[in-house]
Chain A
Amino acid sequence: MRRRDTVALIFGLLLTGCALGSLWFSATGVLDWDVLKLAIPIGLVVVGIAGLAVSRTGD
């Protein structure tokens, strides 16, 4: 099985998240800190777990 590119997955998820956040901010003009302070760490955990899972299954 071809080895999966974990770096691409992690950076892809991060860039996608940043892009969606920027689009949301541009469209609504509001970034609620109460939401961000939960969404950012949860997103980082999800990205890390996804990278770990892909790196394990890709070996």
Chain B
Amino acid sequence: MSSVWSIRRSTADKKVAGVCGGVARHWNVDPILVRVGWALLALSGGVGVVLYVAAWLLVPADGAATSTMDDLTKGQTSTWPREAWVAIVAVACLVTFVVFSSATSVSFWPAVVLALIWYFGYYKSRVKRPAPPSHERTAQPSQQGSLDAPPTGEPFRYPGPPTPFTEAAEAWRQRVEDMRRGATVTGFSETTGQSPAEPTWSPAAAPAPTAAGGSAWQSYPYGSDRAAVQDPVSPEFAEAAARADFLAAADPVGLYTEAAPVKAAAAPSRRTQATSLSARRLRLVGLVAVGLVLLGLAIADILGAPITPVIYAAAVLLVVGLTLIAATWLGRARGILPIGLLLLLVVLGMSVAKPAGQYLHEFNYTSTSQFPVQPVTVDRGLVSVDLRGVDLTSDATFAADLGTGAIEIEVPPGTNVVLDYSVGSGVVMDNNVTLASGENLQGSSPLLQRSRDNEPTLTLDIDVDQGMVAVKR
């Protein structure tokens, strides 16, 4: 992967300044994807706009040697280090995000989604590309050094399951070992100067070395022949050199000519690659869907819809769940299931651990005309009713229906009050004094405060399934 500093603004594919076109060409992706990503970044508190302007100023165009900034400053900033520009752009992004994030109400979610798309859709697929073929790896300096080294110590053995190649390699290694052992035991000692008779091998007919390490093998005398190195013209050394030439041949016995098993082994990898490709595409589609859903929710939030954070998380979880269902047939890419489970924990946590304020329902009335015609109905939570400002001119009734929780009513001072209650299970209290407790509590309490006769009366008609009714004076 080439350096990010080699990006150039495209002059052929440009909408504004060619930044997205240049980035798409550098990453070898569709320019539309880059432009969509830029739009998402722009919604993240305007960070995308800052990055675009920075790229416009700092990245040279195709064929240009200098950037727009260099042209504007007449080269005075051309010597600034890259780290300084990175810091300036980062600070500009941070300031812009802090200033404009509250205005857009989109927060940093688009940037997060974009980062996920970039990581899973591009970066991770790039770094997991297959390694170069083995013959390329053997050409590396470290590997070459091991080939040149004489075979000493315990020979390397392939730890995986045997394959035709490993069996051939093992046979070849064994042959080399036998040759070494033969040269050591029966070889060309200085005392006898005799060579072993081998009908299948003739030093004169030995093929020329063609392998990469041929020169190293050619110059390596085995076993007790090491002493012959000191006399390169001796017949013992010539014998050892011819033997080394034979061993240095690329494929002297045809061990590597059978290609059919290699083709059979390569077939499953292609199928696996095809499956993972569809899975990766599905993962990308899911990420794009997450971005679009979050964007839609953010727009709805801006327009006034009550979109809570748990709705954002649940929507993402819904997309991940649907993506997993689709992965049943298209293949499951790595990471989707853990993300789904993590999101599930987040959604459950956010749903259970709601802020306390969401369970608090407060009502404040200053006149009887504000009393709702239908009873105030609350499913659960703490209901606080403030009637202290009500100036009662005639008899009135305030009714409330609570499922589970507590209702606390503050009545106006000096007013006649009657409490009609119906409690399925709980307690009824008046100024911290228990009037009734238990189950199926129904009744009408005595007037809680009688200021004067012939004064209007406020009737409290309270129905609670489970919980507490408390009147405060």
How near does chain A come to B382, taking the closest CB pair, in angstroms? 14
Interchain CB contact under 8 A, A22 and B314: yes
| Nearest A-chain residue to B308, judged by Cβ | A26
Tell me, yes or no, whether A38 is within 8 Å of chain B by CB.
no
CB-CB contacts below 8 Å: A2-59 with B: 2, 4-9, 11-20, 22-23, 25-27, 29-30, 54
Interchain CB contact under 8 A, B344 and A15: yes
Interchain CB contact under 8 A, B308 and A6: no
Q: Return chain A residues, CB-CB under 8 Å to B341.
A: 11, 15
Interchain CB contact under 8 A, A5 and B321: no
Tell me, yes or no, whether B332 is within 8 Å of chain A by CB.
yes
How near does chain A come to B140, taking the closest CB pair, in angstroms? 38
Interchain CB contact under 8 A, A16 and B328: no
Interchain CB contact under 8 A, A5 and B320: no
Chain B interface secondary structure, helix, strand, loop or mixed?
Answer: helix
Interchain CB contact under 8 A, B324 and A12: yes
Against A, the Cβ 8 Å flags (1 = close, 0 = not) of B306-328 are: 00101101110110111111111
Interchain CB contact under 8 A, B275 and A2: yes
Interchain CB contact under 8 A, B314 and A12: no
Given contacts A15-B340, A25-B351, contact A7 B317 (CB under 8 A): no
* A: interface residue count bin: 20 to 34
Tell me, yes or no, whether B201 is within 8 Å of chain A by CB.
no
**Bound complex: CA of A6 vs CA of B327, how far in Å?**
9
How near does chain A come to B149, taking the closest CB pair, in angstroms? 47
**Bound complex: CA of A22 vs CA of B313, how far in Å?**
9
Interchain CB contact under 8 A, B315 and A15: no
Q: Return chain A residues, CB-CB under 8 Å to B347.
A: 18-19, 22
Q: Return chain B residues, CB-CB under 8 Å to A27.
A: 311
Given contacts A5-B327, A8-B337, A22-B310, contact A14 B321 (CB under 8 A): yes
Interchain CB contact under 8 A, A12 and B348: no
| Nearest B-chain residue to A25, judged by Cβ | B351
CB-CB contacts below 8 Å: B328-344 with A: 328-329, 331-332, 336-337, 340-341, 343-344
How near does chain B come to A28, taking the closest CB pair, in angstroms? 9
Q: Return chain B residues, CB-CB under 8 Å to A29.
A: 379
How near does chain B come to A7, taking the closest CB pair, in angstroms? 7
**Bound complex: CA of A31 vs CA of B326, how far in Å?**
28
Interchain CB contact under 8 A, B315 and A16: no
**Bound complex: CA of A5 vs CA of B329, how far in Å?**
7
**Bound complex: CA of A48 vs CA of B343, how far in Å?**
22
* Complex partner residue of A23 from B315, B326, B327, B332, CB under 8 angstroms: B315
**Bound complex: CA of A23 vs CA of B39, how far in Å?**
27
**Bound complex: CA of A13 vs CA of B344, how far in Å?**
12
**Bound complex: CA of A13 vs CA of B326, how far in Å?**
10
* Complex partner residue of B328 from A6, A18, A26, CB under 8 angstroms: A6
Given contacts A5-B328, A15-B321, A19-B315, contact A26 B310 (CB under 8 A): yes
Given contacts A13-B321, A15-B321, A19-B321, contact A26 B344 (CB under 8 A): no
Interchain CB contact under 8 A, A54 and B315: no
Against A, the Cβ 8 Å flags (1 = close, 0 = not) of B275-313 are: 100000000000000000000000000000000101101
Q: Return chain A residues, CB-CB under 8 Å to B340.
A: 11-12, 15
**Bound complex: CA of A2 vs CA of B327, how far in Å?**
12
Q: Return chain B residues, CB-CB under 8 Å to A13.
A: 321, 325
CB-CB contacts below 8 Å: B37-67 with A: none
Q: Which residues of B contact A (CB under 8 A)?
A: 275, 308, 310-311, 313-315, 317-318, 320-329, 331-332, 336-337, 340-341, 343-344, 347-348, 351, 379
Not counting A2-B275, A16-B322, a sample of 19 additional A-B residue pairs whose C-beta atoms are within 8 angstroms of each other reads A5-B331, A6-B328, A8-B332, A8-B336, A9-B325, A11-B341, A12-B321, A12-B323, A15-B317, A15-B344, A18-B347, A19-B318, A19-B320, A19-B347, A22-B310, A22-B313, A23-B311, A26-B308, A26-B351
